[in-house]
A = this chain, B = another copy of it.
Amino acid sequence: MSLTRVHNMSISLDGFATGEPQSIEAPFGHAGQRLHEWMFATRYWDADGTAGVDDAFAQRHSDGIGAEIMGANKFGPPGWQDDPEWKGWWGTNPPFHTPVFVLTHNVRNSIEMDGGTTFHFLDAAPAEALQIAREAAAGHDVRIGGGPTVVRAFLAARLVDHMHLVQVPIVLGRGVRIWDGLEALEAAYDVEAVSSPSRVTHLTFTRKIAVK
C-alpha cells in the first residue's frame, strides 16, 4: 500500500509555514531560517548534529518515498516560471533522489538532475497529481513536500495518510497558514504531540482508516 505523507513541515505557533514576502533572497520571507533551525541542528542535516527526537522525526523524510509532489512556490521564487534556466533552489544534486512533480500552471519539459531527482511539471488537481506521482513511485510512498498551500489542498481533498508538523515557538503574524479551511481535521486522524528539548513540538497526524 502506497501512502501519502507529509514530513518536517515547520509552522509557527500561529500556524504559518512560511513568512512573507517570499523572494530569491528570502525563500521563507520574514521567517528567515527560524522555522528550520531545529532541523539544521540534527544529524539528518549535519553529521555533527543531535540524534534525539528531532533527528528521529527528520530522518523519516525519505524512508520509503518514491516520489514527491511540491507546489510552484516551493520550486522557486515568485517569477521563476519566466526564467527558462531555473532548476530549483538545490543545485545540481537536489536532496530528493526521486521523481518530483511540481504543480504549476506553466508546465515545461522535465529536468533530469544528478542523484536521481527528475523534476516534472504538472498542471493538475491534487487527486490527479497523486495518481501520476504514485505510478512514478512504483509501490513506494508519495511525499507531499509543501509549501503550505499545497499541503492544505491535499488535506482538504482528504488525500493525506500521515502528516508530521513541527511547531516552533515563534509568532510570525503573517505569511501562509497551514490550518485555514480545515475545520475538524482531527476527526480523520489520531493526533500525537511530543515536545522536544529543542523547544519545538512534533505533531503527527495518522489517518484512522487505512486507505487502499
Q: A15-B13, A15-B14, A195-B195 are in contact. Are A183 and B201 (CB under 8 A)?
A: no
The answer on a CB contact under 8 Å between A203 and B169 is yes
* A115 interface contact, C-beta 8 A: no
- Taking the complex as formed, is A194 at the interface, i.e. its CB lies under 8 A from any CB of chain B? yes
Contacts of A171 in B (CB 8 A): 179, 182-186
From residue A63, how far is it (CB to closest CB) to chain B in Å? 23
CB of A186 within 8 A of CB of B169, answer yes
In the complex this chain forms, how many copies of it are found? 2
Q: Please judge, given known A-B contacts A173-B183, A179-B171, A186-B169, whether A13 and B195 are in contact too, CB under 8 Å.
A: no
What is the interface size of chain A, counting residues whose CB is below 8 A from a CB of the partner?
A: 28
Of listed A13, A177, A179, A200, residue having the most chain B CB within 10 A: A13
Please encode chain A, from 162 to 177, with 1 for each CB lying within 8 Å of some chain B CB and 0 for all others: 0000010111111001
**Counting CB contacts under 8 A, is A212 at the interface?**
no
| Contact status B173-A181, CB under 8 Å | yes
Query: Interface SS of chain A: helix, strand, loop or mixed?
Result: loop
Interface set, chain A 58-115, CB cutoff 8 A to B? none
Residues of B within 8 A of A191 (CB): 169, 199
Nearest 6 interchain pairs by C-beta: A173-B183, A14-B179, A169-B191, A193-B195, A171-B185, A195-B195
28 contacts between A and B (CB under 8 A): A13-B186, A14-B177, A14-B182, A15-B15, A15-B179, A167-B193, A169-B186, A169-B191, A169-B193, A170-B186, A171-B179, A171-B182, A171-B183, A171-B184, A171-B185, A171-B186, A172-B183, A173-B181, A173-B182, A173-B183, A174-B183, A191-B199, A192-B199, A193-B199, A193-B201, A194-B195, A195-B195, A201-B201
The chain A residues found within 8 Å of chain B, CB to CB, are 13-15, 167, 169-174, 177, 179-186, 191-195, 199-201, 203
